[in-house]
Amino acid sequence: MTNIKYQNIDFSYGKYPILKGVNFSVAPGQCCALIGHNGAGKTTLIKLLLGMIKPDAGTVTLCQFNPIGKNEKLIKSQIGFVPESIHFHPHYTGLELMQYVAKLKKATAEDVQDKLKLTNIQFAQHKKIGEYSKGMKQRLGLAQAMLGEPKVLILDEPASGLDPDSRQILYRSLQAHAKAGNTVMFSSHALNDIESYIDHIILLNEGGVLMDCSIQEYRQSLKLPVTIEIQTTGLDSDFYQQLQKFGKVEHKNNIAYAQVEYGHKLAALAFISAADCVTDLRLLDASLETIYHELLKKENNNEAKV
């Protein structure tokens, strides 16, 4: 069963095609990130899912129903949504806003406090929203969207403009909601922040789906070289000489960096960890952002050859 499903979706704004033949689904328990450059179609996919616009071709289903039509009211009771820019009445307190939304969703006072605590905004619940920072408003927006334990949580660039602490709180909250058996889908530019919190990626490019995979499959897609940072007890020329058989090595004082081909990673780690002179090591895999740019470069090169 899937809570989100796009089948053969085409969509254009006037004469400009935005989405072409898009197919993917997101299951309960998954925290999924939509990634892609500006104009790749991320926000359009979210608008289609919310029933704000209709596809030119294909079907969209949310909680097994078309988001537009007779089941619209039922669907809305099962979803939560957080837009990129949040605007609440500045004279409401955070608690008053939460109580208002809770009444609409038939959520309990206990649920209100649970969500305020989960998003780390409980401390400001009696303050006027007009006094909130952007990060506090974003966390309050997430808290109200999570009221009633919606089956699907949808967010459009939820971390835009947030400080690092607020981003981590937000992503931890999303991860917790997905682990409770719900579906979370959000768009993001901050790729290097999200790796620890998501388990699925939809990579969009030129209006189509370039990759639909787990975070592990995404990381392994290009098998890029990895860098191993090594701390040693001191200069050991024999160790460095043998290390060079795995790749390029640079060292200064007690720190060395070995750039190792993906296929030689395990052998290199075994050799390094067994060396008496090694006191610590750290694996520096290619970042999600680096993989993203390399994938797009590879795709563009393939298109140029056609």
Mean pLDDT for the stretch of residues 77-105: 92
CA dist., res. 211 & res. 12, Å (int): 21
Confidence band (pLDDT; 50, 70, 90) for 167? confident
Please report, as a single letter, which amino acid is at residue 230. Answer: I
Mean pLDDT for the stretch of residues 270-288: 90
CA dist., res. 10 & res. 276, Å (int): 60
The answer for residues whose C-beta is within 8 angstroms of residue 64's C-beta and 6 or more apart is: 1, 3
Check whether 305 has a pLDDT greater than 80: no
CA dist., res. 22 & res. 214, Å (int): 18
> Which pLDDT score, from 0 to 100, does residue 304 have?
56
Please report, as a single letter, which amino acid is at residue 209. Answer: V
281, with CB counted inside 10 A (0-12, 13-18, 19+), is: middle
Confidence band (pLDDT; 50, 70, 90) for 10? very high
Mean pLDDT for the stretch of residues 185-193: 85
Mean pLDDT for the stretch of residues 138-146: 93
> Which pLDDT score, from 0 to 100, does residue 251 have?
81
Mean pLDDT for the stretch of residues 181-187: 95
CA dist., res. 222 & res. 225, Å (int): 9
Q: Secondary structure of 187-246 in the HEC alphabet?
A: ECCCHHHHCCCCCEEEEEECCEEEEEEEHHHHHHCCCCCEEEEEEECCCCHHHHHHHHHH
> Which pLDDT score, from 0 to 100, does residue 86 have?
85
Confidence band (pLDDT; 50, 70, 90) for 71? confident
Ordered structural domains, the chain, with CATH: 4-215 (3.40.50.300), 226-284 (3.30.70)
DSSP states along 259-295? EE-GGGHHHHHHHHHH-TTEEEEEEEPPPHHHHHHHH
| pTM for the predicted model, two decimal places | 0.83
DSSP assigned state of 302: H
Confidence band (pLDDT; 50, 70, 90) for 57? very high
> Which pLDDT score, from 0 to 100, does residue 48 have?
94
Secondary structure element (H or E) that encloses residue 258, with its range: strand 255-260
